[in-house]
Chains A and B, each alone.
Chain A
């Protein structure tokens, strides 16, 4: 234990003597939150719209006006030819084509139905889905308006009093309220996940690089020749990096809360407790990488390969619930997924200890398993 004290002192001295590292540790949270939380969003700000109005009626212009007036769509091009629209879509000049066929108004008035076609660039399915949902919503509101205009008001029709008053179709009005993120600010959803991703990268990468750098420099052999045990060596490496990752999380939370106004409804202590458990698994991965690689370059490569899968299977960018069944099963084993879920629950929903018990147990188990596996990989003597 006495040796551990000296080793810890050495690690902290080395970390704080590396100004580039210290700067990075404090800058990365800020930069990542600024860039990622604003860039990684599915929100569709303004879709450019190609209008093919073959009807040229009041009603068809109404459709275009309503779409444009919503602020979600920008009528940048127009033509009577759908083909021209296709070209524009292909050249990425527009995101959506709105086709209003001839006789649209006549059909609406006579048959109470008219067809409007939306053609979307669905390379990015999520964005296309959101865009089309907006367009449909606007259009259905317009349809309701037209419907009201075309239906004679009940008050004026004294004649048919014996019949039930004609009110068009019965309508159900849906008023939805989004809980936990009422303004649907995408950043509220992204920031907790980005914080997790941040300490994961800091934790795994720093651990792997730190140990492999000692391998490269030959200082690791010098330590392995001494009587310090594997456990003491690993503890001396992981404790400082664990501490740093927790500090980075603290900085990240502060920036998220103060700068972005992301709410932290649940107990902050719970966030840190969960992070503490989660980091054991994250650092364990770094330790494992350092045990199976010999150079910083290899360590970097292996680390990023692992992190990539880890991130994609975490539900940070794409919801786990929309993954295929097998992938959801795999994601169950990803501690990052559980920690992101926990962070969102605690920060946005104000979940307490009892609400996230399951995730805490999963994180603790993952920590023990990963670390045990990694420690077993690490040997003072090469085979």
Chain B
């Protein structure tokens, strides 16, 4: 396996509207890849095709070495996914959610218990193991969701705006968790609206109107556009008129 994610000319049209327009991306193993774009640029549509929730109109994609179209079950076993919206069960406890997903991914009872304890201990939430998830603060929920997405040690994890609405301290902790996962060899494919977070990524792509307008390391992108921050790169690409008005 050369790359964790290989995307070639991946396209999705809804009627006459092209949400994702022939994008091509390679993401290396263990890389933290930032997938940026304004609202409606096509990020979520692209992710949904990569994780097998949405049929592509054209192009191809391989994730963790398997074709998302023809080998989707092999892909599903090797990926984790955390959506924009919290999608664990509010009416189950933390422990029950962990057990459910452990069971779904075929972990043994022993593994479910030990990894569950590890997970809760790591999050410092052992005391709330039997609390209904719905009653937890959002930041806790997001960290739990990420940990559950990592429970079966996936090769690639997709995080769709994982830190939306989360306080700065929790965001920092969240990124520490992302780095820890990457250091264990998991490839992280993450979308975000926080440009400071974008700086933490190994490499970035910026999507504009369904296309990838720029791609590279944060340093290379800043150099290419001659600006001091990724924020400015983003504004130039995503909002050219706003950048011009600001005299850029």
Cross-chain contact A225 with B106 (CB below 8 angstroms): no
Known: A226-B101, A227-B73. A18 touches B91 (CB 8 A): yes
Q: B81 is contacted by which of A3, A225, A227, A380 (Cβ under 8 Å)?
A: A225
Which residues of B sit under 8 angstroms from A17, Cβ to Cβ?
Answer: 91
Mark interface residues in B63-103 (1 if CB within 8 Å of A CB, else 0). Answer: 00000000011001101010101111111100010011111
A-B contact pairs, 18 of them (CB 8 A): A3-B106, A6-B99, A6-B100, A14-B91, A18-B91, A217-B90, A219-B87, A219-B88, A224-B52, A224-B53, A225-B51, A225-B76, A226-B105, A227-B77, A227-B106, A380-B52, A381-B53, A381-B54
Which of chain B's residues has its CB closest to A224's CB?
Answer: B53
A2 to B112, CA, bound (A): 13
Cross-chain contact B55 with A218 (CB below 8 angstroms): no
Q: Does B1 contact A (CB under 8 A)?
A: no
Cross-chain contact A221 with B96 (CB below 8 angstroms): no
Q: Does A80 contact B (CB under 8 A)?
A: no
Q: A381 is contacted by which of B55, B99, B103 (Cβ under 8 Å)?
A: B55
Q: Does B104 contact A (CB under 8 A)?
A: yes
Which of chain A's residues has its CB closest to B86's CB?
Answer: A218
Cross-chain contact A5 with B103 (CB below 8 angstroms): yes
Known: A218-B85, A222-B88. A7 touches B104 (CB 8 A): yes
Q: Does A13 contact B (CB under 8 A)?
A: yes
B129 to chain A, nearest CB (A): 15
A381 to B91, CA, bound (A): 26
A381 to B52, CA, bound (A): 6
Which of chain B's residues has its CB closest to A4's CB?
Answer: B103
Most interface-central of A5, A18, A217, A225 (chain B CB within 10 A) = A225
A18 to B76, CA, bound (A): 31
A4 to B158, CA, bound (A): 25
A228 to B85, CA, bound (A): 21
Interface size on B, residues (CB 8 A): 30
A258 to B1, CA, bound (A): 69
Which residues of B sit under 8 angstroms from A381, Cβ to Cβ?
Answer: 52-55, 72
A21 to B100, CA, bound (A): 22
Q: Does A10 contact B (CB under 8 A)?
A: yes
Which of chain A's residues has its CB closest to B79's CB?
Answer: A225
Which residues of A sit under 8 angstroms from B54, Cβ to Cβ?
Answer: 381-382
Which residues of B sit under 8 angstroms from A228, Cβ to Cβ?
Answer: 104
Which residues of B sit under 8 angstroms from A383, Cβ to Cβ?
Answer: 55
A221 to B53, CA, bound (A): 7
Chain B: residues with CB nearer than 8 A to chain A?
A: 48, 51-55, 72-73, 76-77, 79, 81, 83, 85-92, 96, 99-106
A225 to B87, CA, bound (A): 12
Known: A10-B89, A14-B89. A225 touches B52 (CB 8 A): yes
Q: A221 is contacted by which of B72, B73, B77, B83 (Cβ under 8 Å)?
A: B83
Most interface-central of A219, A222, A226, A383 (chain B CB within 10 A) = A222
Which size class do A's interface residues fall under?
Answer: 20 to 34
In addition to A219-B89, A225-B51, A381-B54, 5 A-B residue pairs with Cβ atoms within 8 Å of each other are A5-B103, A218-B85, A225-B79, A227-B104, A381-B52
Mark interface residues in A1-32 (1 if CB within 8 Å of B CB, else 0). Answer: 01101110110011001100000000000000
Q: Which 4 pairs across A and B sit closest by C-beta, in order of nearness?
A: A6-B103, A222-B87, A218-B87, A218-B85
Q: B53 is contacted by which of A7, A219, A225 (Cβ under 8 Å)?
A: A225
A18 to B89, CA, bound (A): 13
B164 to chain A, nearest CB (A): 13
A148 to B39, CA, bound (A): 95
A221 to B72, CA, bound (A): 14
Which residues of A sit under 8 angstroms from B86, Cβ to Cβ?
Answer: 218
Cross-chain contact A226 with B76 (CB below 8 angstroms): yes
A371 to B72, CA, bound (A): 24
Which residues of A sit under 8 angstroms from B77, Cβ to Cβ?
Answer: 227
Which residues of A sit under 8 angstroms from B104, Cβ to Cβ?
Answer: 3, 6-7, 223, 226-228
Which residues of A sit under 8 angstroms from B76, Cβ to Cβ?
Answer: 225-227
Mark interface residues in A198-241 (1 if CB within 8 Å of B CB, else 0). Answer: 00000000000000000001110111111111000000000000
A219 to B85, CA, bound (A): 9
A217 to B215, CA, bound (A): 33
Mark interface residues in A287-306 (1 if CB within 8 Å of B CB, else 0). Answer: 00000000000000000000
A226 to B74, CA, bound (A): 10
Which residues of A sit under 8 angstroms from B55, Cβ to Cβ?
Answer: 381-383
B193 to chain A, nearest CB (A): 19
Which of chain B's residues has its CB closest to A232's CB?
Answer: B104
A245 to B48, CA, bound (A): 36
Per the 8 Å Cβ criterion, residues 348-383 of A in contact with B are: 380-383
A226 to B104, CA, bound (A): 7
Q: A7 is contacted by which of B51, B85, B100 (Cβ under 8 Å)?
A: B100
Which of chain A's residues has its CB closest to B96's CB?
Answer: A13
Cross-chain contact B81 with A222 (CB below 8 angstroms): yes
A362 to B227, CA, bound (A): 73
Cross-chain contact B52 with A217 (CB below 8 angstroms): no
B177 to chain A, nearest CB (A): 18
A228 to B87, CA, bound (A): 17
Which of chain A's residues has its CB closest to B52's CB?
Answer: A381
A227 to B51, CA, bound (A): 11
A3 to B77, CA, bound (A): 13
Which of chain A's residues has its CB closest to B101's CB?
Answer: A226
Cross-chain contact A10 with B53 (CB below 8 angstroms): no
Which residues of B sit under 8 angstroms from A6, Cβ to Cβ?
Answer: 99-100, 102-104
A18 to B106, CA, bound (A): 28
Known: A226-B76, A381-B52. A3 touches B103 (CB 8 A): yes
Mark interface residues in A147-178 (1 if CB within 8 Å of B CB, else 0). Answer: 00000000000000000000000000000000
